[in-house]
Amino acid sequence: MQKLIIPAYALRQHRLLSDSIKKILEWLASGNALYLSSRASYSIKLSRTLLQYFKQLYALYKKVDFLLADIKQMSAIIEEEEKIRNTICSGKKWSEEDEKQLNGILVRIFGYDEGFSKSKYIHLETKPLSNGGERTSIVYSDEWPKGNNSWGAGKYLRALRIRYCAYCNAESVSAFDDINGHLVSGDYSHHTAFDHFYEKTKYPFLALTLRNLVPACFRCNTMIRNAKPLNKQCLNPYDGSFDELVSFKYDKKTVEEYYWKYDPKHLLLESRNPLLTNNNPAIVLNDEFRILDCYKTLYDVEIGEFYRKLIWYNRHQLDGTFTSFPQLSGSIGRKFFLGVTFNKCDINLHRFGKLFLDFL
C-alpha cells in the first residue's frame, strides 16, 4: 500500500533481459519471424505482415525500452503498438489464425511463464548444421551471461522489499527455495505470482515490464481480478501510494455507543483530499479489488482484536503507563501493548500495516 520502489540493482539485472530481447527483435525484423510460427504453410501475405510488424516494433523498442518503461511510457507503448496493428495487421486477408500466430510469437519473446517466472535467460543461439550451414533459434536457458547472477520473478519479489499483497495488504506474498525439505534463500524458485497490471494476454509485449508486475496475493490476482481489465483510473502501486491518498477510519459514534465492541459495518475508507473523492485512483483500486469489503467480511476478527486493544489501552492510559514505567516508552511500549512498532515506510512489510497506523 506504499508506493513500490524498484532498487537500482534490479534495474541493472533486468537490463540483461532487455538487451537480449532487443537483439531478438532485431533478428525478427530481418525477416525471421516465420521461423517461430506454428503454421504448416505460410502465405506471402503473412510473411510480409510479420516482417513489417516486427520492423516497426523493433523501431519502437529502440525508442522506449519496454522492460524498463515507466507508467506513462507503458501507456504510450500500448497506443503505438495498437497503431502498428491497425495499420499492418488488418484487412480481409488478416485472419484470427494470423492474429494467434503473432500473439504466440510475442508470448515466446516476452515469456513471463516460460522464462522470467523460472529465472531463465532468453537469447539467440546459433548452431552449425550438418550441411555446413547454421541455424539460429530463440532459447531459454538456466545459464546467464558470464559474470552475472541469475535473475527472475522470485528475486525481483525479494528486491521489492514487500511481504504482503500490494493491493490488499492482508495476504502474504513470498519467495523461497525448497531444498531437501528446508525453506532457504537462493534463486527463489517458489514464489507468489505477480499480477500484470496490464493483462499479459492482451498486452504480451508488456509481460516482462517491471512496473507492470505487481506482487499480489492469490485472492486479488486470481479470485477477484482473474485477468479482467482494470479501470483506467485505477492506481498502479508503482505510480503512487495508497496510504497517501486514502485512510481507514472507524465511525466515532460507534466508539461512544458500543465503546470497545467492534462492528465491521462501521469501518470506512475516506479520501485524504476531499477534492479527489470522485476521481481518487486509490478509491478506484479499492473498488476493483474490494479491499474494504474483504476487511469487513474476511478479517473482522483480526481487525476487531486490534481495535479492542486500542480502546482498552487508550492514549491517556498508555501515557500514564509510560510515566510509571519509562523503560516501556517509545517503540518498546507500543510493541508490548499493541504490537505495532513500524512506521509508514514499512507498511508493505506488515499485515494490515496501513489500517493499523490509520487507527493509531
Summarize pLDDT for 68-101 with one digit per residue, the tens.
999 999 999 999 999 999 888 877 677 788 888 8
Tens of pLDDT, residue by residue over 286-302, are: 999 999 999 988 888 88
Domain identity same for 15 and 89? yes
Other beta carbons within 10 angstroms of residue 348's beta carbon come to 25
What cell numbers appear for 55 in the block?
520492423
pLDDT tens for each residue of 30-54: 877 655 554 444 555 667 888 889 9
Q: Are residues 58 and 188 in the same domain?
A: yes
pTM > 0.95: yes or no? no
How many Å apart are CA 47 and CA 36, to the nearest integer?
A: 12
Identify whether residues 106 and 249 lie together within a single domain: no
The domain boundary residue, chosen from 232, 253, 284: 232
| Residue type (1 letter), 15 | R
Same domain, residue pair 295 and 162: no
Q: Is the same domain home to 319 and 353? A: yes
Same domain, 185 and 249: no
What does the pLDDT read at residue 191? 77
- Same domain membership, residue 220 and residue 315: no
Give the domain-ending residue among 189, 215, 232: 232
Q: Indicate whether 99 and 213 sit together in one domain.
A: yes
Backbone angles phi, psi at 73, to 5 degrees: -65, -35
Top pLDDT among 333 and 149 is at 149
Three-class secondary structure of residue 137 per DSSP? strand
* CA 41 from centre of chain: 39
If asked whether residues 227 and 327 sit together in one domain, one would say no
Identify whether residues 22 and 123 lie together within a single domain.
yes
65 and 165 housed in the same domain: yes
Indicate the range of 13-17, 210-214, 264-268 predicted with least confidence.
264-268
Q: Select from 212, 232, 252 the last residue of a domain.
A: 232
Residue 292's pLDDT is 92
Q: For residue 60, what are the domain limits?
A: 1-232
Domain count, the chain: 2
How many CB atoms lie under 10 A from the CB of residue 352? 22
Least confident of 148-157, 237-246, 255-264: 255-264
